Structure 1
């Protein structure tokens, strides 16, 4: 491994997987930490919401402790989507098919990070394809951030802006489909290779940016919308990640502090208030910056090469997915996966949600939930 060390606790916390704590510069095996139970007051009740209910895209259970209107505490059960994924002893491309489907909405981030770890393990030079991978991930970031903004509009009852965001999301999805032959990048990534028509992305991205900018300005002009976002779901913690961290003024971003997939000259967008509005602002500005990155990232012409994949080694990689740092560690034995660790940003984002929600009222629940962009499917993975 070129950039990461097993057994080293170094850098900021980026996630957890099984009995591992993952840091930005290493990962260590740790015992399960004891969680402090919330002591409910006599005048409070438990209000159960989920796992299958309107407003939730994925199955997840919430138990809200409340005396009536104000939420005092929330317990979350994300285990309804837990699943075992057989991957040990798979060859690299069989494993890749499964990695892509951990969370289809973030298939590019998962598959690119996994392949970077594989290339690290097998000592494969990958600089030929990294600019194309950056464009791919930034296109995924645009759609993912739009999805979060759509959820905020829906929570506010803003049906017209919600439909406008849905239209832009569909346009991005069709751009991905034409450029990469699948709406969710399935099959687009190979060892040091991206199967994609980048010219079509460059043709479409300018109009996508203009359409969102018009909608963004309209949303900022709505006092009703702004009032629903400001001072709700405040979260400021050094152990936060992705847009949630940057919305609290923390300059945490794998695009500048991970050598796995470095961006040239990228400037972090931060906000200071740490509320739902700040997370909305960070995500919106990262849509604009993603468009700029796509338009200004040069592509190096190259051709598919044959590599000897029947080798052994250990590799790790960390990149900035739309929701924060995503990490993969792989151990390969004669071309087959013998061990794998994956850290999803949704783990720390779920922790952040649990800390940000208390003190808000029931009608603020969905604003806070949507603003963190949590995907339960990413947390419900057990590689075997």
Structure 2
């Protein structure tokens, strides 16, 4: 075959759709329960939105963004993450005037040029939610609780929330200085990327997963030891609130997340299934992002999770998802005159709101019944030329094979009553 899906993308086939509808329906229900409204942003944005907010030295900007120039000469980028576009929409549409906090969620395609692996694609999909306008640690606790509840409702067994605080810009300066001092003695042992991060973005040194870099990160100074009084009080209240609602967590001193806009709280959630990809979702607080984009000072916190990664873990943990609803009725026709009449009958019944699939050709009854069975139809309606002449139709129960006749006139009410 000459054409295949591009590397790092996938076709979501009909037999996989039950997983997707299950996850998306749970996402919408949990979001509604916590008071979130859906927002959809464009698939591509001004490239500067991401270089300015995500961070020019992050892997996303330097290695992973799909950026192109349109015919007008503007640099546009396929959405590599969901928070910055929602923040842009929040500012552009004057949402700061709405009752606080403003709670928004999205289900969106995300594009990153990354090495494809299990549960991670160059085009993947995320469920994310953002809370604007509340600085109290209770907002952090609610966002974490909502994320935790979402996984629990899906049936995914999770480990404790991985939690950390990276402080605010004021107290982080002292921490970064301590971090650089620590790494100065071992910078030669780091990977090439981390050698660059040491000079440009030392906080990201803690995020590298390569063995030598990871070993160095485990011995590095802890951000929570350098928090200012306000950041320390915020973190202590957050942990107390999580304890009060029985959300298990553990402080992970190496957790910083991969985006520059985070401040104070950062967190991740991991699946318990051994061998599964580690992180399936994470987020944090980004109190300085809205003003960075030209809006008024607005505290905010958010979370995002990859749907492909969720489905991978649903399968690994053998979680049963509801099957998609099969067509209730199949219409079989025998003989050319019956085929013509059946085509009109099928159209009339669908317009009455009755879900129905028809054969579309005059094959043997055995062949048409096999098709009905393969589709999972509950009943088969059989219309032959004799039935057409007597203005009747045969109703066959596909489970029991029992049959009886129904009048063609007034058929719709009879089928709705089944």
TM-score after normalising by structure 1: 0.30
Q: Please say which structure displays the higher CA radius of gyration.
A: 2
